[in-house]
Structure 1
């Protein structure tokens, strides 16, 4: 694993990470803790969340939260912010279940957008007032190359990921005057434990590598490294951008 640089300006910053209990989210939580930031991470998976908190305490604290209920987001964020405000928000939570077009009901469609899209806006809404008051802040929304490459058998997920990129650019334009930077990160196929358990076969791995310029799998830590850099003052002039981490797929 490549050793990541230290960004001194991140030390002591209060960071909120959604979907932080496992996969890319857990790598992001670990990466910010390695910067001596204070991380509150929100997830529905209490077992994984508590285990990660125990491993990274006292820098990390786990907050159980079902992000598909937007009315619960602001109270949870307010209670978790250690100094009353978050400096950085990483909207990462998602669920990429496959689904056939003919099987999608109105309720299932609504549920998929709630799980994959809606909370990006409402989490941002929860942290923006304090960021405005401070005159600075960072919001990073995690999208996916899925919508750009036309992922099969996941129309609701693909729709949500496309919308996240649009939301990011809209927020960046609205919030830039307040010193708040907003960017969107699009990972490619990332070799998380969940992906390995659900999708990975030798044939699938061969197909992925055939589509990438780099002949190596993306690890969660690779994505986390980009997120941390974008959150730091090293990227102080970077906003309203989509940053792709896909080993050259797209």
Structure 2
């Protein structure tokens, strides 16, 4: 793993950090020497991750949070910032790619997906930025997806949210740049996680995506660690309002 010395001692918050991509990021920042906290609705998975990393000598903080609750997001960010002694870096990772049939989507379904996949990114940033201001600057990394580029018909609200994250990233970058807070975005391709294999992915669908990619292997959560650490560190100090695609060359 690439090491960035300026991440040592930095306070990092990861949303959706208990499993999948989020867990890989929590572990990576711990190994980079950062003070790490994460939010997740799954307290059991969070406990397992804390125990696992504790066995390696790391002690990430975790707070249970339903990211659909904007007030709850603000409270949870404040709680973690208190435990970590501030916040320098926010990783907005949490998402849920539910499939939806076009003819059956209700207003409640649509709003649920937007709350899970888009709205909390703004309110997490709003709650984290005051701590970054006190620190003299910071970095926000938002996770979007290439899903909205692929014309996938069974994820209409999710795709809309992921496209919206790119727009939100640019808006926040414009607002926060004068305060030395950078905001960038990562668009993963098909990342093979246990959840994805359990719910959506098959050997055949993985093979089809690998065939589409320039890199002929399935991508895993670890493939997002390097790009995320880079955007969080001073190595990308001149970058903001940018989007990096990590999809093995599928798009």
TM category, shorter: over 0.9
CA RMSD of aligned residues (A): 1.1
Residue 79 (structure 2) aligns with: 79
Structure 2 residue aligned with 1:7? 4
Unaligned runs of 5+ in 1: none
Aligned with 1:20: secondary structure? coil
Shift of 1:85: 2.0
Deviations 1:214-248 (A, max 9, x none): 10111101112210111111111111100000000
TM-score with structure 2 setting the length: 0.95
CA contact (8 A) 2:35 2:84 kept: no
Would the aligned equivalents of 2:192 and 2:221 in 1 still touch at CA under 8 Å? yes
Q: Which residue of 1 aligns with 2:237?
A: 236
**CA deviation after TM superposition for structure 1 residue 133, in Å:** 2.9
CA distance in 2, matches of 1:132, 1:227: 21
Q: Distance in 1 between matches of 2:84 and 2:222?
A: 28
1:56 matches 2:53:
yes
Distance 1:186 1:59 in 2: 29
Moved over 3 A (4+): none
C-alpha separation in 2, matches of 1:75 and 1:66: 11
Structure 1 length as normaliser, TM-score?
0.96
Is residue 29 of structure 1 aligned with residue 26 of structure 2?
A: yes
Within 2, Cα distance between the matches of 1:129 and 1:75? 13
Aligned pairs, number = 247
> For residues 32 and 208 of structure 1, what CA distance do their matches in structure 2 show?
29
Query: What SS class does the counterpart of residue 230 from structure 1 fall into?
Result: helix
Match of 1:135 in 2: 136
Say if 1:17 and 1:29, in contact at 8 Å, map to a contact too.
yes
